[in-house]
């Protein structure tokens, strides 16, 4: 099976390496506008050759869209115009908009909307990992609009990579990821900006940073070009969870302003209930 990866960064590169490691693809074609990414992907053995979009689609059986979500949405109609029996899937973090774009196309059945629930704060081909998806979940959205053979091929691919699948409506997907992923990134970005602002006053603040701080702010190193489109695409859901998060912060602020340790204790103990979910 010949695979085309459009966007040879963290996600696309990791997918290519993982499928190669498992022997599931015979050849990987890379498509990327970034010349440095093209060069690195070839040097690192992530892809076997670089082609134009049109050439790559014609030469492939399976096509992965691993670009930022706004780029994926702009490319999808063109890609679907060019496919015949090829199967196309994406790795994007929002789904409602791209599912809607696919639904309006005559070749909608060849597109499988997916979201592997994995990622790191790093980006580019050098960040790619060949064991990235093992024991992780992947979400497949609106499978009722996907051709049976296309769905089965993508399911078998993810299963072979050691992933388990969840099936979800695109609208519900975007609501859920706003809570479990998008708010975590916004919080990390905001915390990093807070500390960077204070760092102007004291260089020692980073010398004192503990592992707790590092783990909390780790996501702030994530690629801005990827996350801005995600936040904008999922704006309504992100705003909803952000408003709730701000409300919770205000409760902590009020407990301190009013010197109310009992309320502060209550807030922290309530937060401790997350242990029942995250062990």
What domains are there in the chain, each with its CATH number?
A: 2-169 (3.40.50.720), 173-276 (1.10.3660.10)
C-alpha distances (whole Å) from 68 to each of 1, 89, 133, 178, 211 are 25, 14, 19, 17, 30
Contact 12, 121 (CB under 8 A): no
pTM of the model: 0.87
Alpha-carbon distance 52 to 43, whole Å? 18
Exposure of 202 in the CB half-sphere (CA atoms within 13 A): 9
Alpha-carbon distance 131 to 81, whole Å? 33
> pLDDT by residue (tens digit) across 16-74?
999 999 999 999 999 999 999 999 999 999 999 999 999 999 999 999 999 999 999 99
Alpha-carbon distance 56 to 253, whole Å? 55
What is residue 163's three-state secondary structure?
coil
When pLDDT is cut at 50, 70 and 90, the band that residue 279 belongs to is low
Residue in this structure with the two tokens 């809607």, named with its chain if needed: 100
What distance lies between CA 119 and its chain's CA centroid? Answer: 6
Residue in this structure with the two tokens 């609009």, named with its chain if needed: 145
- DSSP designation for 219: G
> pLDDT by residue (tens digit) across 73-118?
999 999 999 999 999 999 999 999 999 999 999 999 999 999 999 9
Contact 68, 226 (CB under 8 A): yes
Long-range CB contacts (within 8 A, 24+) of 120-124 = 120/10, 121/218, 121/219, 121/220, 121/221, 121/222, 122/10, 122/221, 123/9, 123/10, 123/222, 123/223, 123/226, 124/9, 124/10, 124/13, 124/37, 124/40
Residue in this structure with the two tokens 């869209």, named with its chain if needed: 65
The pLDDT, as a whole number, for residue 195 is 83
Contact 59, 50 (CB under 8 A): no
Helix/strand number for the chain, H first, E second = 13, 8
The pLDDT, as a whole number, for residue 208 is 65
The pLDDT, as a whole number, for residue 276 is 81
Contact 141, 99 (CB under 8 A): yes
């Amino acid at each position: 099976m010949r695979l085309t990866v459009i966007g040879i960064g963290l996600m696309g590169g990791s997918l290519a390496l993982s499928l190669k490691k498992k022997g599931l693809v015979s050849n990987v074609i890379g498509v990327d506008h970034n010349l440095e990414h093209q060069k690195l992907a070839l040097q690192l053995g992530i892809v076997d050759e670089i082609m134009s979009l049109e050439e790559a689609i014609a030469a492939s059986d399976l096509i992965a869209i691993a670009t930022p979500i706004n780029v994926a949405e702009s490319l999808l109609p063109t890609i679907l115009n060019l496919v015949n029996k090829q199967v196309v899937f994406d790795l994007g973090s929002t789904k409602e908009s791209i599912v809607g774009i696919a639904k309006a196309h005559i070749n909608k059945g060849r597109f499988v909307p997916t979201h592997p629930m994995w990622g790191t704060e790093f980006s580019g081909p050098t960040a790619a990992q060949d064991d990235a998806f093992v024991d992780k979940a992947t979400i497949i959205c609106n499978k009722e609009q996907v051709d049976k053979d296309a769905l089965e091929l993508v399911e078998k691919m993810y299963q072979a990579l050691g992933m388990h699948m969840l099936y979800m409506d695109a609208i519900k997907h975007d609501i859920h990821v706003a809570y479990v992923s998008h708010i975590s990134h916004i919080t990390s970005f905001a915390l990093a900006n807070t500390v960077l602002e204070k760092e102007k006053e004291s260089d020692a603040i980073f010398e004192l940073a503990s592992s707790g701080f590092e783990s909390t702010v780790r996501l702030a190193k994530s690629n801005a070009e990827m996350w801005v489109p995600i936040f904008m695409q999922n704006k309504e859901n992100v705003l909803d969870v952000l408003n709730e998060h701000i409300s919770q912060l205000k409760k902590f602020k009020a407990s301190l302003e009013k010197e109310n340790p009992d309320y502060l204790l209550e807030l922290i103990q309530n937060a401790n209930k997350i242990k029942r979910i995250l062990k």
